[in-house]
Structure 1
Amino acid sequence: MSKREERVDDIKRNVLTVRIARKELPDIGELVVGTVYRILEHGVYVLLDEYGGMEAYAPINEVVQSWFHEIKDYLRPGQKTVFRVIRVDARRRLVDVSLRKVREEEKKEKLTRWKRTLRGVKLLELVAKKLNIPLETALREFGWKLEDYYGDFLSIFENVVKYGPDDLRKLGLSDNVINAIVEVAKERIEAEPVEISGIIRMISIKPDGVKHVRDVLLKAMDLAKKEGADGIRIYTIGPPRYRVDIVGKDPKKLEQILKDVVNLVSTEIKKRGGEASFTRVGE
């Protein structure tokens, strides 16, 4: 095998072999991600990543901006970039694409979405392996349905980590599928920190009321830390109003911690002859 043939094989290995698009052929005008794998004098052959590596052709006049340039001034073998579909022959399964007809902002937006799509598909492939089914089957049976609901494949796993699997159950997925998705999400997705906040209004009419308020707030901070908050801040925004910010990666857990903090503050300050009320920030 020549070095050129080895290079072509390497390029093909970096293209998805599974069609993740729901239709077999792209539509005219559609933006597609293509991997350049063969450059000739008259044009470029690319592999369409979303269509399982389907071959498409970009004529030279749809690549170069002027006759003073060559195709190699714009594209290189193995490069992934965005093309616009300009012709489709469904009977012969031939697709022509254009590089020139893609605006820079369209390219950036499409490639950003593609990176998320690719990562999400890789995670879905791990789910399929856990279920011992091909990726194509996973896409047909639940992948595309989840993509419709969440917006893209990666959001499936991000939302499971952030909010749990309740939505998966509402969509009617089997326990085996839900468990596999949850396992992959926990293994591969790092939850982004979440912050919830509220305002506690606390009054003590005792001569040493300031000390009582401080002691109660310190107890509240200790409780939040013991219950697993990644961080908590309590600071005055003008006595007798104190803001509470609690940070963590599990929104449901944070809600419970905030509830426990408010209950502790209310109970403790009442024991000391004072009173407290709470208002959630953002509500």
Structure 2
Amino acid sequence: MHDKDEWPEEGELVVCTVENVKDFVAFVRLDEYTSKKGLIHISEIATGWVKYIRDYVREGQKVVCKVLSVDPRRGHIDLSLKDVNDHQRREKIQEWKNEQKAEKWIGFVAKDTGTDPQAIKDTFYAAFGLLYPAFEEIVVKGDDALKTFELDSKVNEALKTVAQENVKIPRVTITGTLVLTSTKPDGVNIIRRALRSAQPKVDDDVEIELTYLGAPNYRVKVTAPDYKKAEKVIDKASTAAIGVMERAKDSGKFVRKAKSA
């Protein structure tokens, strides 16, 4: 939940609860902003012509809207439902649910340690702008993450326990096959060097695994928090291995496999 005195920014996505639906407008409560309300004009409900607004929204419904304009002086927030696509809606709802969970966890920690929950929230907001990513950071980096927060040691221990018990870091895996062929008398050693170079130094949250599939094929498996990071590592690994083979005047190539979660 944002500070009650804050206002959302134009272009921001917000989670809202529909409170009242009229013929040409829906009035909503912004769930992430204390005491802030907004409206969705019928022209912003859906693309195309909307005959009955109630075909799209109803009282009590949770919706994700885009902020079109904010007028704090008049207390007006104009919102759009049609400007939010399915992907944005899913991501925003998940973020909102995660933030609710994180608030609850901070409440537990604050109660157990006799700490002001707002002090923990302010620390997390300063580092990440949100609460939940701080718990993810604690799971991934452990004590190194907690040191940066500069909180009391008993608070740190309680945060670590809560994070480890509740947060599951998303992981993705991508694989491919290195095809390494040597015609040299010392070909075995050349391939060994290539495979060593295919295991570059990686971050703690990344795993790289090489498996012998039968000459000349070697599987490369990379597990990381997201596809972007995994792709970068597997590209670096395969390029390094192929480089060793080519410098020895031998051949190497990399065959990608489909992504898997």
* Alignment TM-score, normalising by the size of structure 1: 0.53
| Aligned residue in 2 for 1:186 | 164
| Aligned residue in 1 for 2:37 | 55
Q: Residue 143 of structure 1: which of 124, 141, 155 is its match?
A: 124
Establish whether residue 177 from structure 1 lines up as the match of residue 155 from structure 2: yes
**2: CA distance between counterparts of 1:147 and 1:174?**
19
Alignment partner of 1:100: what SS?
Answer: coil
The residue correspondences of 1:196-207 to structure 2 (distance < 5 A) are: none
Letter aligned with residue 27 of structure 2: Y
| Aligned residue in 1 for 2:136 | 158
| Aligned residue in 1 for 2:53 | 71
**2: CA distance between counterparts of 1:53 and 1:36?**
14
* Alignment TM-score, normalising by the size of structure 2: 0.57
**2: CA distance between counterparts of 1:99 and 1:194?**
32
* Contact map agreement 1:124 1:143 (CA 8 A) in 2: no
| Aligned residue in 2 for 1:203 | none
Q: Residues 150-172 of structure 1: CA distance to partner in whole angstroms, max 9, x if unpaired? A: xx422322332344222211342
**2: CA distance between counterparts of 1:134 and 1:80?**
30
Offset of residue 83 of structure 1? 0.8
**2: CA distance between counterparts of 1:105 and 1:191?**
20
**2: CA distance between counterparts of 1:64 and 1:238?**
57
Alignment partner of 1:110: what SS?
Answer: helix
The percent identity for this pair of structures is 31
| Aligned residue in 2 for 1:228 | none
Establish whether residue 122 from structure 1 lines up as the match of residue 122 from structure 2: no
Offset of residue 144 of structure 1? 0.8
| Aligned residue in 1 for 2:186 | none
Aligned residues: 184
**1: CA distance between counterparts of 2:13 and 2:93?**
10
| Aligned residue in 2 for 1:46 | 28
Q: Which runs of 5+ in 1 are unaligned?
A: 1-18, 196-233, 246-283
Alignment partner of 2:98: what SS?
Answer: helix
**2: CA distance between counterparts of 1:94 and 1:122?**
30
Letter aligned with residue 89 of structure 1: D
Q: Residues 228-250 of structure 1: CA distance to partner in whole angstroms, max 9, x if unpaired? A: xxxxxx986669xxx9x9xxxxx
Distance 1:69 1:56, change over 3 A: same
**1: CA distance between counterparts of 2:143 and 2:113?**
17
Distance 1:194 1:182, change over 3 A: farther
* Contact map agreement 2:4 2:34 (CA 8 A) in 1: no
Distance 1:35 1:193, change over 3 A: closer
Letter aligned with residue 145 of structure 1: A
* Contact map agreement 2:7 2:72 (CA 8 A) in 1: yes
Alignment partner of 1:155: what SS?
Answer: helix
**1: CA distance between counterparts of 2:212 and 2:7?**
61
Offset of residue 48 of structure 1? 1.0
Offset of residue 28 of structure 1? 2.0
C-alpha root-mean-square deviation of aligned residues, in Å?
3.6
Distance 1:52 1:130, change over 3 A: farther
* Contact map agreement 1:64 1:71 (CA 8 A) in 2: no
Distance 1:158 1:106, change over 3 A: closer
Q: Which runs of 5+ in 2 are unaligned?
A: 174-209, 222-261
Distance 1:22 1:147, change over 3 A: farther
**2: CA distance between counterparts of 1:146 and 1:89?**
29
Distance 1:31 1:68, change over 3 A: closer
* Contact map agreement 1:88 1:95 (CA 8 A) in 2: yes
Letter aligned with residue 132 of structure 2: L
